[in-house]
Amino acid sequence: MPTTKRCPAKVLDQGRVTIDASIRRDLELEQGDFVVLQIEPLEGDSE
């Protein structure tokens, strides 16, 4: 089983969140794969 990765992400239009390509490669993720997200806001980082 692949290892867990942690990284900051930005919520885009319509609530979409992108996963950086290097992380997708490391975790062997492909389009259509399901993932589990643990979400917490980053303090002072909103626009």
Which residues fall within 8 angstroms of residue 36, CB to CB, at 6 or more apart? none
Instruction: Give the model's pLDDT for residue 42.
Output: 85
Q: Domain coordinates of the chain in residue numbers? A: 1-31
Instruction: Give the model's pLDDT for residue 46.
Output: 61
Residue 17 phi/psi, 5° resolution? -125, 130
Cβ–Cβ under 8 Å, residues 29 and 37: no
More confident residue, 1 or 7: 7
2-38 pLDDT, tens per residue?
578 888 888 999 999 999 999 999 999 999 999 998 8
